[in-house]
Homo-oligomer: A and B are copies of this chain.
Amino acid sequence: MRSHLNTQAPLVHEVLAAVLRVRSATVQVLLWQRALEPHVGRWSLPGGRLRMDEDVETSVRRQLAEKVDIRKLSHVEQLAVFSAPDRVPGPRVVATAFLGVVPTDVDPDVPEDTAWHSVDDLPRTAFDHRDIILRARDRLRAKLSYTTIGSALAPASFTISQLRDIYSAALGYRVSATNLQRVLSRRGVLEPTGEIAPPGRAGGRPAALYAFTCNGVHVTDAFAVLKPPSNKRRG
């Protein structure tokens, strides 16, 4: 069955990364503006061609390190394959899309043609990249409920209020600090560092600093849900 594998039209495999972070109470994605046709001026996801000696994850990490200055992503995972025959003009290109996450506290230098954009207010995007971005955001939202992917969004140490703001921005609805605190604590993924954050200049009780106990993102054993507030039960 694999006897004449090389006898067909050429096919290119590229990797693309939707790198997300939370900033200014919104989810942002890293995009760069195309300088060449096709789709000049439109914004597109970083990535590029898969080399022959690397797998897709190695490739996406390399290209992110090369093209934009992001060496310490807090999380990377496969998202999906995008393979519509006409997804890009010209020769066939199949893409493996990734979800990347950067903590709120780091602010990596990015090249001139690169910038963060709010996912809720995207500029004109190239090819099918808009679909990929939205898919990445949905994945992030879903995983906040039953994994420790929140640890990839948050800085190394934080107050519960800060963490609440991060979760709220990522999920798109207000979550309670009390409940977030208890849910994560009960799961055993949150622990106090012992340190205290200085209060804001408006006063207020100084907040305790917390950190995630886990290294890396993993599924919570008995996972449960952080539900949107409102919609009550139905009969």
Contacts and interface: CB of A to CB of B under 8 A. Distances in A.
Interface string A43-54: 000001110111
A94 B50 contact: yes
B83 A49 contact: no
A172 interface: no
Contact of A91 (B5, B49, B92): B5
Contact of A9 (B52, B91, B225): B52
Contact of A81 (B2, B54, B78): B78
The A interface is mostly helix, strand or loop, or mixed, namely loop
Copies held by the complex: 2
Interface of A: 1-3, 5-6, 8-13, 36, 48-50, 52-56, 78, 80-81, 83-85, 88, 90-94, 96, 142, 219, 222-225, 227
A177 to B, nearest CB: 22
Contacts of A2: 36, 88, 90, 93
A87 to B, nearest CB: 8
Contacts of A88: 2
A44 to B, nearest CB: 9
27 contacts: A1-B36, A2-B36, A2-B88, A2-B90, A2-B93, A3-B36, A5-B12, A6-B10, A6-B12, A8-B49, A8-B52, A9-B52, A11-B12, A11-B13, A11-B50, A13-B13, A13-B94, A50-B94, A52-B85, A52-B92, A53-B85, A54-B85, A56-B94, A78-B80, A81-B81, A83-B96, A222-B227
Given A2-B93, A222-B225, 7 more contacts: A2-B36, A5-B90, A8-B52, A11-B50, A13-B13, A83-B96, A224-B224
